[in-house]
Chain A
Amino acid sequence: MIEKETTSTFNKSTGLPRKRFYRARAHSNPLSDSHFPVPLSPSQFDYSLHYPQLVPAASDDDNPKRIQFADIGCGFGGLLVALSTLFPDKLMIGMEIRDKVSEYVKERISALRTTNPGQYQNISVVRTNSMKYIPNYFEKGQLTKMFFLFPDPHFKEKNHRRRVISPHLLDEYAYTLAVGGIIYTITDVEELGEWMKGCLENHPMFEALMEEELENDLVVKLLTSATEEGQKVARNGGQTFQAVYRRIAPPL
């Protein structure tokens, strides 16, 4: 992307934020206790702040709208933006631990909402450590789709426990997903792909989707094409490894 000389953080013609002003290292230590606000419980999450048009503050709904899709480690928000128009009636959220990157996504969504009235009202982003705080945001069985696209591989064996897909964390994702909900994972690192598939295969509350189900699922194609990371891999002619599993009831 060739940038003009202007120092504006927003592109004047599209109204979208410019990535170069939101540059961040690819890495952020998930073990450090950063200080960002975390809701004490899912009922404390402020829906009207994130989805002002769809969930007005004063609503006294018996059956309020709840987030159903979550992009864990949403990066620059590519997947959310693509999903927003595909599923306009579903609320979705991106979780990102890096400060600058989550700022970028916030600005991006805000700009899209302004330039496309009525659209993109169903997506939002929150800066948080999803490995620690997912139960604070979502009730049991609330989500129907969870996305883990190109997560940090943590190559060294001693760092494998920092991986976002791990046997113990899958317990929490199984708790958060409704029975029948789907978890989508993809990576361009073969070893990580094997690892994630292995963790999911060995977990008693997940089962693999059949070939036909994968082909019929609109979302699967987005895994490679919608995100900046996926597009980069495609440009470089790299291979991707995906594991898509369904949450099932635990065996008796």
Chain B
Amino acid sequence: MGDAQMEEGDNTREIEVAPALIAVDPAQRSVAVAVGSDLRVYDLIGDCPVSLVDDSAKPFHSDSIRAIRYDASGKLFVSAGDDKLVKIWSTDSWFCISSVCCEKRVSAVAVSNDGLFVCFADKFGVVWVVSLKGDAENQALADKKAAPMLAHYCSIITSLEFSPDGRFIVSADRDYKIRVTVVPKNPLDGAHEIQTFCLGHSEYVSCLDFIHSPDYPHGLLISGSGDSTVRLWDVTLGSLLDTCEIGSKFDRRFTFFLKAELSATDGIEEDPCHAVTDLCTCPNGTSVALAVQSLKGIMLLNCNLSAKTLSMAKVSISLVLSLFCKDFRFSFLNSRQIHAMHGSIVLRHIYALRYRYAWLGKEES
């Protein structure tokens, strides 16, 4: 996830820009966007930008933000990145309630389902955990100390996810591995019991998400990788249930919309890269949206939880669009604008090309 894509024709090709990130409050009260070191939150109820308040010793972020997310209840928000800080915010007051220091730059964050623990991964592959227990939400806390919980030896962790039933924490790395670890009663003592590994990807694993529904509360794990596949896994056994080859889904119709990579050495167009860079699952457990490198749009896959299969649904090509799909609509980020669920809120100029899709799961009124 360290390689940033530059927009074509952008004359700042030499400077590496961290991909812009987007996260949506599960309670649908706000949308957060991180652009470089800048964190911007938009209040969807009040229809206005939010002013963040940070009284800590090192306020806000001083370097690229690499991971942002809300917790399952929407009460907490976490941001972390290259400034080696993990900031935990209350979403009621947008006050920074805790700022945790890390020795290394942070590459991924996750919050336990009960909102009591925040986990973050550093660039050496160590996953740290910090406890939020026993603290009132809006109180400023003494800066907390994190404990090491588990590690992928010398590998950059690209994604961290708790399973929907809270039993496992899943971590994916650049060395093609996905590790499923049992969440212990006290994570601060370390998560030593590995449940399984999900092995099969032949390139770096870039993204993880669980897909679940009320009928299937344990859910299944979906992973996207640089090997141009999306895979469906059972995390209790580590078994591979289905694989979707993204590369083979593109035919002549779509090649017009694919940006072919210009080879650095001789300027000859190379075949477009179909690496999966990000994915997001729909809350009702039926669809998965993918961001594919070199595709100017998004790809939708159908997931059948009972048959445990993945299949192609459609490829949507667009630069600026709000898409409707059954009961939900989703917002996404492109090179210039973001369209959030209430229609045409345009946030200011954002200059990166990596997409992140968030499912809002709300019925359109």
Contact = CB atoms under 8 A, between A and B. Distances in A.
Interface of A: 30-31, 40-42, 131-132, 135-136, 140, 161, 167-172, 174-175, 203-205, 250
B205 to A, nearest CB: 12
Contacts of A40: 176, 199-202
Given A140-B194, A168-B151, A205-B192, 16 more contacts: A30-B154, A40-B176, A40-B201, A41-B199, A131-B153, A131-B154, A132-B155, A135-B199, A140-B238, A171-B151, A171-B192, A172-B153, A174-B194, A203-B192, A204-B192, A250-B193
What DSSP secondary structure best describes chain A's contact surface? helix
A11 B277 CA distance: 55
Interface string B189-205: 01111101101111000
22 contacts: A30-B154, A40-B176, A40-B199, A40-B201, A42-B199, A132-B155, A136-B199, A140-B196, A161-B124, A168-B150, A168-B151, A169-B151, A171-B150, A171-B181, A171-B192, A171-B193, A172-B153, A174-B193, A203-B192, A204-B192, A205-B192, A205-B193
A38 to B, nearest CB: 9
What DSSP secondary structure best describes chain B's contact surface? loop
B175 interface: yes
Contacts of A136: 199
Contacts of B66: none
A42 B179 CA distance: 14
B184 to A, nearest CB: 8
A52 to B, nearest CB: 25
Contacts of B124: 161
A250 B186 CA distance: 13
Q: Nearest 5 A-B pairs (CB), nearest first?
A: A168-B151, A41-B199, A175-B194, A135-B197, A171-B192
Contacts of A250: 192-193
Nearest to A176: B194
A131 B181 CA distance: 18
A134 to B, nearest CB: 9
